[in-house]
Structures are given as structure tokens and as C-alpha cells.
Amino acid sequence: MGQYYEMGKGIRKLPEEIQWENLSEITIEQRRETLKSICAINLKKSPGGHTTNNQSLWDTSAENREPLRKQFDLYDSDLVVCCGRVTTKIFHHLIDFGSEPDWVMTYRGIWYHEYRAGHFIIDYAHPEARVSDCLLHYGLIDAVKEIWKG
């Protein structure tokens, strides 16, 4: 859950940037306050292991299409981060946006699109990816800054 805290706090503080040492040590209260503004939706609504079988994820997600759509509509997010290329493809297959997304790449190579005026979907790495947390954090912060600067 630490990665969600770091990314959430970093996004909420933009355009200010937070030094990594001020994110790496957090209190329970700081975590609670920041996580109130974050929603995580699992496409697969059943338990599984650390590594996902892509076909199983497609199949299980399709079975839960309607609850996933209702959950997505309920949150009305201004920023959606899809965690991984396969997740992004499945998400766009399950949620009808009315037309094919017009994907755009940030200067540093992160793909995103505006699915509704002022509402964006970013194709990014999963917070549990085997990459240093600070690299994941600042890569996403960099992308969001560019997208919101528009």
C-alpha cells in the first residue's frame, strides 16, 4: 500500500514536487488521509497469486463486466492509472468509452488518452512491478504533470 500512498500524495501536491525522503517514511494517519482520495479496482474479482495468468484475467474480467462498469462509473475519476499493458487492454475492452481511444505518448514515453474532457487514463506499470519505488513514483508524477499541463 506504500506505493499508492506515495503516488497519491505526489499527484495531489502537483505542481510541487516532493523529495523522496519525505515520502519513504509515513505515519498511519498520513496514509489514511492520502488513501481517501484513491480508488483501486481489481479487474479480477477472485483470489489469485502474485503473478496473473493473462487468459484467466481476460476470462474472469469478462464474467464481471457489468459490476466493473458500474464500479468505474460510480467513482467518476479524473485520473485512471491502468497497471500494465494487458490490464489496460482488458479495461478498454470491458468499459465502453463510445469510440476508440486516441492514445498520445508523453515526452518520456508514457501512453495516455482523454476519455472525457479533463478525465485521463494512463497506461503505466503496476505498483508492485520489480522496479524501485522511487522510479515508479517519479515516472508517474512526470507523466501526470505533462498531461495536466496539456
- Domain map (residue ranges) of the chain: 40-149
C-alpha gyration radius of the chain: 16
Q: Which of 34-38, 51-55, 104-108 is predicted most confidently?
A: 104-108
Q: What share of the chain is helix, strand, coil (3-state, %, to 5)?
A: 50, 15, 40
pLDDT in tens, 131-140: 888 888 899 9
**What's the pTM value of the predicted model, to 2 decimals?**
0.81
Query: Cα(16)–Cα(125) distance, rounded to whole angstroms?
Result: 23
Read off the pLDDT of residues 54-80 as tens digits, 9 standing for 90 and up.
Answer: 777 777 777 888 888 888 888 888 888
- Least confident range from 35-39, 99-103, 140-144: namely 35-39
CA distances from 46 to 59, 87, 90, 95 (A): 12, 15, 16, 19
Strands 111-116 and 119-124, bridge-based pairing = antiparallel
Greater pLDDT, 128 or 105: 105
Neighbouring CB atoms inside 10 A of 139's CB total 18
Instruction: Report phi then psi at 80, rounded to 5.
Output: -120, 125
- Evaluate if residue 118 carries a pLDDT over 80: yes
Residue 47, CA distances (Å) to 8, 42, 68, 73, 124 in order: 25, 10, 16, 23, 23
Q: Which pLDDT value is given to residue 46?
A: 61
pLDDT tens digits, 85-103 = 888 888 888 888 888 889 9
